[in-house]
Amino acid sequence: MGRVSKRKSASRQADAGCEGKRYKAGIYARLSSDQDLQKNESIEVQVEMARKFAEEFNRQKTGEVISIVECYTDLGKTGSNFEREGFLRLLQDIRLGEINCVIVKDFSRFGRNYLEAGNYIEKIFPFLGVRFIAVADGFDTGRDGNENKQMASEIKNLVNDMYAKDFSKKAKLHLKQRREEDSYVGGPPPYGYQAQWNEKKRVLVPDENTQEIVRFLYETFIKTESYTAVADELNRRRINPPYVYKKTKEVYHSSADTDYKGWDKSTVERILKSETYTGTLVQGKTSITARNENNRIHKPEDEWVVVRDAHEPLIGEEMYKKAAEIRQKIRNRTMTSQNPTKGCPIEENIFDQVLYCGVCGRKMTRHSYVKQYKTGERARIDGYFCLNGGQTKVTTCPESNRISKNELVDILLPLIRIEFEVLLRRPKHYVEYGKERIAEAAKRIEAQLNETERKIVRFQGEESSIYMDYRAGKMLQKDYAAFRKKQEDRLKELRKQQEEWEKEKKELDKLSEKYLKAIRALMKLKDGKVLTKEMVEAFISKIYIYPGKRVEVLFAAAVDGIKVYAGRSASACKTKKEHPGTEPLCLENKTLIRKGWDNG
């Protein structure tokens, strides 16, 4: 809102100062680098130059006024690419009619791409009615005789384009030369190192705070042959991961105000893959294009710049090779487990919408694999586990929490049969009973909806009649206004009621479909022994799994609130004493306890 009010103020000043053409100007300034403080100041110089131009222009009293509305800046952006945040914001305001004049210091600040810069200045801006001014180049599309400068502007744009391309080539050659001279030209140094300037070279030196952690990481990996085991050990010691250390400079997590953001498998693997820790500097793996800075090109390995003994190593070559052999062993094992499983397709996940961890509340993840027996036969084994369970990175779920699909089905199938025993005896009766109740509810809702619609029509008719009286002079204006206000409030309330009845009608349609779906599931349950996704979603609202294979079931609709506890032994379950009014049910060596409820 601040920006809008500023623009309105600028427009009012323009109106007060002149009766001729008024321009709402936007100043655009750009720099290629955001690392040099002196260059940062030149953004202000560009803006100040444009402001002074506008002030001098207004003092000439030519019948035109230029009012500065907004400044748009891009810092650290190349002129060869017009996909810049500040420039795009300028274009947006031009389309909205907020800006009709653009002022820049010179052509090079606007852009160094000859074709695109010329397209904006000569075609797009004139089409949109935008005046373009390049102060230092003396270029102004709003002045008479400016056509004579067309050739000069084209030449300058071409020179800027050639300069940008020439500078890009020189920059790449300079970067390659610095890499070959053992200079570190990357961004933030890798974990375990700091970057320092040694004369004209930027070199990596060991970070005394984290170098031992890198060595410990390699040693633990060689000992355990597991990325996860390494991450778990670092998390148990509450060592901050690289990105947190870079931000806070704290090796260990100590703040009680923030959650611990620990290590994960990918972070460990990235450090183990890097040759940097052996003293070898590998650079130039990727490059970016000037036209699209987000488009990163991956170069072939023979184009990388590799320098041995570029800095002090944190680990020896032998340790790195051992870690590499283990990484290859893990890759081979993974590739073997990813072989095609012909004849063992993955089945539908019947618990996808209802299965949750009872400890942290996270949705359980399905794990499916093919097991091959000594006889040569293969079978797909499905199970479920909580991704947080037993993790050291988070503390919300400290124990491993797993259950196989077969174990879960063995618990649920008999349980559902017991709970719906009455319905299973007379399923057709409940089909008819349900249809009758739904039809009665639908009839009641339809009647209420029709009544509300009749009231709306009646009130609209009254409004027309009163309006005719007002037009005929039979009613005062203040009385008519009071009537209109009262009528609008009544109609608003009626339309709200109408929306609520229509919503209830849709909900009833959904309920009808769900009820019939549940009855169909009951019919299948009566005749079959297989639990399907349709049955699960019809009967069950949520299933919570606890460590030790304890299960809590919340039944849907009429059976909501029933809780079931299951375990391998009675000691793993709640007791009858802890749940008064419950009746223990024994089923295939699993103890189930459910709350009593009234079937009606």
Q: What is the pLDDT of residues 377-432, one digit of tens each?
A: 888 888 999 988 877 777 788 888 889 998 998 888 888 777 766 555 666 665 66
List pLDDT tens digits, range 202-252: 788 899 999 999 999 999 999 999 998 899 899 888 899 998 898 888 899
Q: Is the pLDDT of residue 52 over 80?
A: yes
**Comparison of pLDDT for 322 and 169, the residue scoring more:** 322
CA distance 52 to 66: 11
In this predicted structure, what is the pLDDT of residue 110? 87
Q: Which range (97-101, 142-146, 225-229, 538-542) has the least confidence? A: 142-146
pLDDT at position 207? 92
Other CB atoms within 10 A of residue 519 CB: 18
Lookup: tokens for 598: 């009234």
Average pLDDT over residues 493-518: 79
pLDDT digits (tens, 9 = 90+) for 469-482: 877 888 887 787 78
pLDDT at site 580? 36
Which pLDDT value is given to residue 600?
Answer: 31
Distance CA 289, CA 277 (A): 29
pLDDT, tens digit, for every residue of 167-201?
A: 555 555 555 566 566 667 677 888 999 888 877 77
Own/partner pairs, 313-319, CB within 8 angstroms, 24+ separation? 313/277, 313/278, 313/279, 314/192, 314/193, 314/206, 314/211, 314/214, 314/215, 314/277, 315/214, 315/215, 315/218, 315/277, 315/278, 316/278, 317/278, 319/218, 319/219, 319/222
DSSP letter (8 states) at residue 363: B
pLDDT over 80 at 445, yes or no: yes
Question: Tell me, what's the pLDDT at 18?
Answer: 45
CB of 549 closer than 8 Å to CB of 567: yes
Share of the chain above pLDDT 70, in %: 69
pLDDT for residue 131 is more than 50: yes
β strands within 246-348, DSSP E: 281-283, 286-288, 296-298, 305-307
Q: Is the pLDDT of residue 567 over 60?
A: no
The residue-averaged pLDDT of 528-550 equals 81
Mean pLDDT for 142-149 is 58
Nearest CA to 304 out of 278, 321, 281 is that of 281
* Single-letter amino acid, residue 286: T
Contact 26, 93 (CB under 8 A): yes
Least confident of 59-68, 290-299, 321-330: 290-299
What single DSSP character describes residue 582? E
By 3-state DSSP, what share of the chain in percent is helix, strand and coil, each rounded to 5? Answer: 50, 20, 30
Confidence of residue 327 (pLDDT cuts 50, 70, 90): very high
CA distance 571 to 591: 9
Mean model confidence pLDDT for the chain: 75
State the pLDDT at residue 559: 36
- CA 217 from centroid of its chain's CA atoms: 31
Q: Supply the pLDDT for residue 595.
A: 33
Q: Is 164 helix (H, G, I), strand (E, B) or coil?
A: helix
pLDDT at 361 over 80: yes
Q: For residue 144, what pLDDT is reported?
A: 63
Q: What is the pTM of this model?
A: 0.45
Q: Which of 75-84, 221-230, 299-308, 464-473 has the lowest mean pLDDT?
A: 299-308
More confident site: 336 or 436 = 436
Q: Pick the residue with more confidence: 19 or 453?
A: 453
Pairing type for strands 540-546 and 286-288 reads unpaired
Contact predicate 319/217, CB 8 Å: no
pLDDT band at residue 587, thresholds of 50, 70 and 90?
Answer: very low
Say which residue the tokens 């930027």 belong to: 202
Structural contact between residues 156 and 121, judged by C-beta atoms closer than 8 angstroms: no
Answer for the pair 184, 204: CB distance below 8 angstroms, yes or no. Answer: yes
- The pLDDT score that the predictor gives to residue 146 is 52
Burial class, 320, CB count within 10 angstroms (exposed 0-12 / middle 13-18 / buried 19+): buried
Q: At what angle do helices 227-236 and 265-273 cross, to 10 degrees?
A: 110
Q: Which residues contact 162 (CB under 8 A, 6 or more apart)?
A: 114
Q: How confident is the model at residue 114 (pLDDT cuts 50, 70, 90)?
A: low
Task: Give the pLDDT score at 519.
Answer: 65
Helix (H) or strand (E) holding 406: helix 405-419
> What CA–CA distances, in Å, run from 282 to 178, 304, 387?
13, 7, 35
Q: By the 8 A CB rule, do 349 and 294 touch?
A: no
